Amino acid sequence: MYLDRKPLAFFQLASSKADVYRSPYATKGFVQNVMLHNTGTSAETVTLYYDDGTSEHQWLSQSVAAKDSFTLSLPGEGFVVSPGAKITGNAGTAATVTCKLSGTEESEASVVGVESNLWCPPATPHVLDDEFDADTLSGWGVKNITDGVVGSFSYGTVDAYDTSFNSGNVVRVNANEAARRSWAQVQVPATGKAYSIYKSTALPTNLLVFARMKFNIRLGELSNDATLGLELVEATAGEPAYNSRVSILLNESDTTTQAQTQVQNSGGGFGSSVVSTNVDSQGQALEYVAIHKVGTTYHLWVGTASGNWIWMTSYGSLDFTPDMAVLVFTNSSITAPGVKVCSVDFVRFIETDNFLL
Domains of the chain, by residue range, sit at: 2-108, 141-350
Least confident of 48-57, 104-113, 272-281: 104-113
CATH code linked to domain 141-350 = 2.60.120.200
What are the contacts of 258-261 at 24+ separation with CB within 8 A?
A: 258/286, 259/286, 259/289, 259/302, 259/310, 259/312, 261/300, 261/312, 261/313, 261/315
How does pLDDT run across 257-309, given as a tens digit for each residue?
788 899 999 888 888 888 887 666 555 578 899 999 999 999 999 998 778 89
d(C-alpha 239, C-alpha 169), whole Å: 15
User: What integer is the mean pLDDT of 179-191?
Assistant: 87
> What percentage of the chain carries pLDDT values higher than 90?
52
Mean pLDDT of all residues in the chain? 87
Burial 202-214 (b: 16+ CB within 10 A, else e): ebeeebbbbbbbb
Say whether pTM exceeds 0.75.
Answer: no
pLDDT at 111 over 50: no
Confidence bin at 127 (pLDDT 50/70/90): confident
Burial 317-343 (b: 16+ CB within 10 A, else e): ebebebebbbbbbbbbbbeeebbbbbb
Domain 2-108 and domain 141-350 have a common topology: yes
Q: What is the pLDDT of residue 184?
A: 92
Residue 261 carries which side chain, given as an amino acid letter?
T
Burial 136-147 (b: 16+ CB within 10 A, else e): ebeebbbbbbee
If you classify domain 2-108 with CATH, what class do you get? mainly beta
